[in-house]
Amino acid sequence: MNTHLHITAWVLALILLIVVLILHKQGKGKGAKIVQMILRLDYLLILYSGGDLLANYIKGGNMLGEAIAKGVAGLWVIVALEMISVKTAKGKPAKSWWIQLVIAFLITLILGFGRLPGGFM
């Protein structure tokens, strides 16, 4: 049940990042700031739902190592999202964080969908 919340939360984060970038590009700095704050609240939802999923593995034993690796990669995604939105809002280059976002996102997808058994419950 919590996988739905988890997936919804990180899909929302991607959408909110795109909205921040578009607003910034349109010169709507104030709007971008507000959406950045919403994005930060959404991180809490990702952390809560991911932490809850991780708790199942801590209780259950099997594949705990990969679940922890998944969580670390997920944290890396959040850091990259935040750095991209902050750098862009300040008009600074964010290229290295885009690269990290792609790498971290691929790792979370591979571990989350491919390796760990949760699936679309």
Q: Which residues bind ligand HEM (CB under 6 A)?
A: 3, 6-7, 10, 13, 46-47, 50-51, 53-54, 57, 67, 70-71, 74-75, 77-78, 105, 108-109, 112-113, 116-120
Q: Measured from the CB of residue 27, what is the shortest distance to ligand HEM in angstroms?
A: 28
Taking the CA atoms of 42, 76, 116 and 60 in sequence, report the sign of the dihedral they define. negative
Q: Measured from the CB of residue 28, what is the shortest distance to ligand HEM in angstroms?
A: 25
Write the Ramachandran bin of 55: left for phi over 0, alpha for psi from -120 to 50, otherwise beta.
alpha
CB nearer ligand HEM, residue 56 or residue 96: 56
CB 52 within 8 A of CB 101: no
CB 32 within 8 A of CB 40: no
CB nearer ligand HEM, residue 93 or residue 120: 120
Going from the C-alpha of 7 to that of each of 25, 45, 91, 112, 118, the distances in angstroms are: 27, 10, 30, 10, 12
CB nearer ligand HEM, residue 91 or residue 114: 114
CB nearer ligand HEM, residue 30 or residue 121: 121
